[in-house]
């Protein structure tokens, strides 16, 4: 069973992702920000990470960079709805340049996300 780390500061979005992924028979761990994600990654191996970009403490951009520097390459899917200062598109392009294999704008199309996860895990 593949292990997925969901990194999302919004508890409702995190729960929705967890429930959908668990339903697809993935083992899911959760982190509320980049610092929490890095700590969890030290403690266990994950086959894939779903990383929100805009979060308190350590944001997704910093966390993607750190994960790939310390544990890379890591299979990462970045998600973002943007923030008041930057569009989600700009943030997702930055995430891609730092190693995110795939990006999704919020709200995430769950069917497309599930299909992408399946493809990435087969690679």
User: What domain range includes position 106?
Assistant: 3-122
Q: Which distant-in-sequence residues (6+ apart) come within 8 Å of 73 by Cβ? A: 99
CATH number at residue 89: 3.40.50.2300
pLDDT at 83 over 60: yes
pLDDT at residue 86, rounded to an integer:
60
Number of domains observed in the structure of the chain: 1
pLDDT at residue 33, rounded to an integer:
97
Backbone torsion region of residue 23, taken as left when φ is above 0, otherwise alpha when ψ lies between -120 and 50, otherwise beta: alpha
pLDDT band at 89 (very low <50, low <70, confident <90, very high): confident
Q: Which distant-in-sequence residues (6+ apart) come within 8 Å of 67 by Cβ? A: 37, 38, 41, 49, 74, 76, 99
Q: Which residue has the higher pLDDT, 45 or 81?
A: 45
pLDDT band at 122 (very low <50, low <70, confident <90, very high): very high
pLDDT digits (tens, 9 = 90+) for 28-68: 999 999 999 999 999 999 999 999 999 988 999 999 999 99
User: For residues 34 and 65, is the Cβ–Cβ distance under 8 A?
Assistant: no
Q: Output DSSP code: residue 59.
A: -
Average pLDDT over the chain reads 93
How far is Cα 103 from Cα 51, in angstroms, rounded to an integer? 9
């Amino acid at each position: 069973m593949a292990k997925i780390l969901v990194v999302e500061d919004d508890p409702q979005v995190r729960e929705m992702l967890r429930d959908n992924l668990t339903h697809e028979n993935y083992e899911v761990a959760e982190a509320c920000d980049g610092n929490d994600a890095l700590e969890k990654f030290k403690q266990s191996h994950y086959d894939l990470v779903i990383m929100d970009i805009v979060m308190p403490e350590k944001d997704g951009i910093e966390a993607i960079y750190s994960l790939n520097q310390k544990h890379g390459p890591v299979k990462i899917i970045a998600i973002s709805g943007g923030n008041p200062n930057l569009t989600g598109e700009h943030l997702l392009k930055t995430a891609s340049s730092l190693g995110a294999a795939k990006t999704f704008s919020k709200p995430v199309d769950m069917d497309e996300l599930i299909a992408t996860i399946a493809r990435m895990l087969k690679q």
